[in-house]
Amino acid sequence: MKVSFNELESLSRKAFIGMGFSDGQAVDAADMLCWMESLGFEGLKALSDALAQYSLEHPHAPAERLYQDTDVTVLDAHNASVLACSHLPLELTFAKARARGLSILKIRRCRQRQLIMGYLARLANRGMNITAFWRNSQQPLTEQVVGFRANSSVPSIRIYAVSEVPEETQENTGISIVMANHVDLLPTMRSDYEYNLLAKHDEAELLDARSQSGSRGITVDDALWATLNQFAKLTLVESTGNSRLGAGPAD
């Protein structure tokens, strides 16, 4: 089915609240999702994955702080989606970069990491240079680097497969983020090791994509929409004859 951006933003925000997110967390999560869709990325696919992994009975706990000093923060998200665990740690990193020039955030064990770009875009708009790095899959091993210039709302993105890497057995579902006040952190590919560039998106291309997107609605899977509606309904109050009077007699 086709939906508008406003519908997607509104329903997903209500659904996140129904899932137990705070109002602010829900607004940010919906914003991250819509940002992805506005650039034609697969935000809805990531959302679908996030919903499949979510349990109302066992909602996400806040990310656990493993280490923090004035420049570096390391968190363990315990496999929560970045929709649920990233916005305040990113704000913390932003504040540290403002104070120290550069700061680093590592979130271990988090999911749907590509959605974090939506929040990074907001921070970049506030004058911060940002780069984010994560590994996507093991076979072939692919890496993604996303760089935002300060005051730009779209990133430069590189996705590439690597082969010449030391064997690693530990699952890597973490994401590393660097923020810098004054230094451009856009990705430029340069390596002595072999890699295969799979995707390359630059700012101009993404700006163009955004201006073209959504003019005739966003295509959403019916089942996903129904799931969002189910969660959103958890925010609504059952109606009774008495409660109808709560809107006042109109007729």
Partner 1 sequence: MTLEIGQVPSPVLRPPATVMDLQRLGALSSTRLSFSRSLIRKMGRQRWQIVRAKFDLDELGYGEAIYRIQTPYARYHVVIFAKALADSERSDRVIAEAWDLTFGLVEGDVEASLMASLAENVPLQEAGRQHPQLLVISRANRSVRNFSACVDSLSAGQQPAIELLKTAGYLYRTTAVYGNGKFGIADYRQLKENPDFRHPFSAQMCAVYVLRQFSIDQVEHIAQCRSDRATTLIDPVRRYVGIGNSTGLGMAPFLINHPLLINQWVHMRETALSLAKQQIPNEISQHELIVLVTRVLQSMKNLAVEDAEQASRNQEVTEQLELVRIWLQQVAAEDDLWLQLTDWAEAALSLETQELINALLIELYPDQVDFLEDAMSVEEAFDLVPDMPLVQLRQLIETHFDWALNERFNTEDGQYWFWYRSVEKEEPRLGIRHVDKGVEKELALAIGPRIQHTHQSINDYLDESPTSLTIDYLMAQPREVDIIRRIQTMASSAYGEIRANLWHRDMKPMHLLRAKLSFLGASRFDPRGDRWVRVTFFQGAPLLSELNAEPTDLSAFDDWSFPVCPEQPNTSIPQP
Angstrom CA distances, 26 to 11, 12, 66, 209, stand at: 10, 8, 25, 26
Regarding 233 and contact with partner 1 (CB under 8 A), the answer is: yes
Largest CA distance in the chain: 76
Residues of this chain, 191-220, that bind partner 1 according to CB under 8 A: 214-217
Q: What is the DSSP string of 96-133?
A: HHHHHSEEEEEEEEEE-GGGHHHHHHHHHHTT-EEEEE
For residue 104, give the amino acid letter: I
Give the β-pairing of 175-180 and 129-138: antiparallel
Q: Which of 12, 13, 25, 46 binds partner 1 (CB under 8 A)?
A: 25
Regarding 153 and contact with partner 1 (CB under 8 A), the answer is: no
Which residue lies nearer to partner 1 by CB, 52 or 237? 237
β-pair partners for 159: 144, 199
Q: Which of 45, 71, 72, 91 binds partner 1 (CB under 8 A)?
A: 91
Regarding 140 and contact with partner 1 (CB under 8 A), the answer is: no
Distance between CA 213 and CA 181 in Å, rounded? 31
Give least dist CB 198 to partner 1, A. 31
Q: Which of 192, 193, 238, 241 binds partner 1 (CB under 8 A)?
A: 238
Which residue lies nearer to partner 1 by CB, 170 or 215? 215
Q: By the criterion CB under 8 A, which residues form the site for partner 1?
A: 1-7, 10, 22-25, 27-28, 62, 87-88, 91-92, 94-95, 98-99, 122, 126, 214-217, 233, 235-240, 242-244, 246-251
